[in-house]
Amino acid sequence: MQLRSILSAAAITLVTLGMAQSECSEYWKSAPRSGDSRFTVNGQSRGASIQVGVPTELNVIIYKGQDYRVSFVYDEKIIGDHVIARIIEKVRQPKPVKDAHGQADQGKPVFEDNTKVIWDNQDHEMTDAVEFTATSTKRIAIEVTAPGIPEDPKSKNSGKKMTDIGCLGILIEHMPTPAIGF
Amino acid sequence: MMQPRYVLIALVATLCSCGSPANKDESKPDTLVIGGDDASDLTENLYQMPTPNELFQIVKTMSGEGQKRMMSPAKNVDRYATMQKKALNFGVYATDLVYASNYKVTSEVVRYYLTCKKLGDDLGLGGAFSDTDFSRLERNLTHGDSLDVISNDAYERAYRRMQDDRMGPTLALVLAGGWMESMHLVTRQVLHFDAADPLVMRVAEQKTSLDHLIDLMEQYKNDPGVAGTRNDLIQLRDIYDTFPVIRSQHQGASPSGRQILGDDVTVIITPEGFNDLVDTLETMRENIIKPEDSVDTQPNS
């Protein structure tokens, strides 16, 4: 009997985990599209299950000469009524290396990845979408953190722990940078 | 009949194996790890690569006509035996399909669709290249604009299927094969080197997508099927690393009026650097498309 209970619990967990992943993978499709019909959906759009408080990075490539729109959609019942989002540029750069005498090493250069925050929605009223022009091809990480929701006193008293994993969708749209005016 | 104890062990083992996302560092916990005091110290990293369609749409206006002879010979599809070669060449053929669709090499679109379907089935991606889409493709052969949409949809379906089914190492190889083929197809359009040629500049800035791809593959660097290909890509990156990169603040507004994020980045490429890159790339690509039962391949006639 006990074994049967363990097996049932394990099977339910297995199914739940699988469902959570597959349910979230297409979550980006539910994000509202841009009102500008020239934008087309970018293949790097992605949905995933994320944990409250744990930053999730979606690493993508943006191409020079394209305009992009990045927007977020999420399960507000778990994630909260907003997300904290940043766009971080990743750059591979030579790292200064010194030899034993403190002089610049003339051998093969060593490279490292440096990061630079180039947009933060905390500076833009926690907006759920950003549009920009890519003037260079770049490697960017779209970093999203879910704040979660305040714990319900009723569930606190009942001893039930609130779930802290919900779906996030990141919709990326793009178009060749259009010129305005005549 | 199987002992209940073994059933339990098997189930627990299955549970554990399901928690190994394709795109994660082995030392980090899963996407679905619940709680833990140190959870907030972790960042979950997900990677996406642009579809070849994006690059081809950008460079199409800068390059000449599409050429069948530059594509990997479709007739070799049955001559890849190992999963590693199948995955790499699935990436190659899928890129060729998108190329043929974009550049209106109409006669080859159906052939490469069937080639991708065959290799896709071998890799367990049945359904990504469906009979329904094949019929759509045949009906739309005279409407070039629809071909790239249908081909790209199929490519994306296969890509997402590999992500959903957590086929990480396979996906890494498919992307590597696709990146090599995209670069081959673009660099072959450069007939005379000119550093100011927009097409050459596009080749130079692919340093960025290569860095990204190598990062993506980092988590599989110990996978014997992936390690060799990753090392090849690192060899190409070593060449790219010799090209100076200039960063400067963007001057003026965007033509569209949208904000500009970050600095302008220019990768400087020399004729010697370009030739070194192309020669190394071509040698690696030849090695990828070489059938496993022979030494030589003949280009498409």
Would residue A19 count as lying in a domain? no
The whole-number pLDDT of residue B236 equals 97
Give the CATH number for residue A116: 2.60.120.680
Give pLDDT tens digits for B237-255. Answer: 999 999 999 999 999 999 9
ipTM: 0.84
CB contact under 8 A, B48 and A60: yes
* Residue linked to tokens 């390690």: B227
Give pLDDT tens digits for A107-166. Answer: 778 899 999 999 999 999 999 999 999 999 999 999 999 999 987 776 666 666 678 999
Give pLDDT tens digits for B137-187. Answer: 888 887 766 888 888 889 999 998 898 888 999 999 999 999 999 999 999
Would residue A128 count as lying in a domain? yes
Domain that holds residue A112: 24-176
CB contact under 8 A, A14 and B45: no
Answer whether B255 touches A (CB < 8 Å).
yes
CA-based nearest distance B165→chain A, Å: 9
The whole-number pLDDT of residue B9 equals 44
B251: buried, middle or exposed (CB in 10 Å: 19+, 13-18, 0-12)?
Answer: exposed
Which residues of A, range 122-161, sit inside 8 Å of B by Cβ? 131-139, 141, 143
Answer whether A177 touches B (CB < 8 Å).
yes
Higher per-residue confidence, B127 vs B183: B183
CA-based nearest distance B94→chain A, Å: 15
> Closest residue of B to A140, CA-based?
B212
CA-based nearest distance A53→chain B, Å: 6
The whole-number pLDDT of residue B212 equals 96
The whole-number pLDDT of residue B140 equals 83
Give me the residue from A56, A61, A94 closest to B49, CB to CB: A61
Would residue A181 count as lying in a domain? no
B156: which 2 tokens?
């994306």
Q: pLDDT class for B257, splitting at 50, 70, 90?
A: very high
pTM of the model: 0.84
Q: Residue A174: in which H helix or E strand, if any?
A: strand A165-176
Mean pLDDT for B40-51 is: 80
Would residue A10 count as lying in a domain? no
Mean pLDDT for B86-115 is: 94
Overall number of domains in chain A? 1
What residues of B are in contact with residue A48 (Cβ under 8 Å)?
A: 31, 44, 46
- Residue B216 clears pLDDT 80, i.e. is over it: yes
Would residue A60 count as lying in a domain? yes
Would residue A78 count as lying in a domain? yes
- Residue B1 clears pLDDT 80, i.e. is over it: no
- Residue A34 clears pLDDT 80, i.e. is over it: yes
Give me the residue from B33, B46, B265 closest to A58, CB to CB: B46
CB contact under 8 A, B43 and A143: yes
Answer whether B252 touches A (CB < 8 Å).
no
**Antiparallel, parallel or unpaired: β A165-176 and A56-62:** unpaired
Higher per-residue confidence, B86 vs B163: B86
CB contact under 8 A, B19 and A56: no
Would residue A11 count as lying in a domain? no
Contact between A131 and B256 under an 8 Å Cβ cutoff? The reply is no
Would residue A69 count as lying in a domain? yes
Smallest Cα–Cα separation from B267: which of A108, A64, A133?
A: A64
